[in-house]
């Protein structure tokens, strides 16, 4: 999917998750596990296309490494995780309806802008727990 225009979002959404792919994904998972060792609570989604999404379960800050995209939930589309500092220039209700059509109603959708738009569907995340 391509052709979705984006605009800056101000104020930005509160980050509740973070996404990464490639080498940044491995560093993000390591950072999340380091947080779990310090008592933090995260859940991990192994999304399609080699993307890893870490969701915050304890209300604290998202884990962070270079190359990550912070994600937040817009109150107008609670089943959609969007970049915190950007918003689509399309009506969110119509966008969610169009994105849901091929995948059904289950899961959370993640939109990641780039040269080509990536729309990922997340199933139930795996809570990270200290062994």
DSSP character at residue 12: P
Q: Measured between alpha carbons, how far apart are the two ends of the chain, in Å?
A: 40
User: pLDDT tier at 1 (50, 70, 90 boundaries)?
Assistant: very low
Q: CB-based burial of residue 80 (10 Å sphere; 0-12 exposed, 13-18 middle, 19+ buried)?
A: buried
d(CA 107, CA 48) in angstroms, rounded, equals 13
pLDDT of residue 82: 95
Q: CB-based burial of residue 64 (10 Å sphere; 0-12 exposed, 13-18 middle, 19+ buried)?
A: middle
Residues 82-102 have pLDDT tens digits of 999 999 998 988 888 888 776
Scanning the chain, the segments in alpha helix (DSSP H) are 22-37, 92-100
- Residue 125's CB is within 10 A of a number of other CB atoms, namely 18
Structure tokens at 115: 């040269």
d(CA 95, CA 100) in angstroms, rounded, equals 9
Residue spans per domain, the chain: 12-125
**pTM > 0.75:** yes
Residue with tokens 């959609």: 80
pLDDT of residue 114: 79
């Amino acid at each position: 999917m391509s052709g979705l225009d984006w605009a800056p979002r101000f104020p930005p959404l509160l980050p509740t998750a973070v996404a990464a792919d490639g080498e940044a994904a491995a560093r993000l998972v390591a950072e999340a596990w380091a947080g779990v060792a310090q008592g933090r609570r995260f859940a991990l989604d192994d999304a399609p296309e080699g993307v890893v999404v870490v969701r915050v379960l304890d209300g604290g800050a998202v884990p962070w490494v270079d190359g990550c995209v912070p994600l937040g939930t817009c109150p107008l589309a609670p089943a959609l995780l969007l970049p915190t500092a950007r918003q689509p220039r399309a009506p969110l209700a119509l966008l969610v309806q169009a994105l849901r059509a091929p995948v059904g109603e289950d899961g959370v959708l993640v939109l990641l802008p780039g040269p080509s738009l990536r729309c990922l569907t997340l199933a139930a995340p795996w809570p990270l727990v200290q062994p």
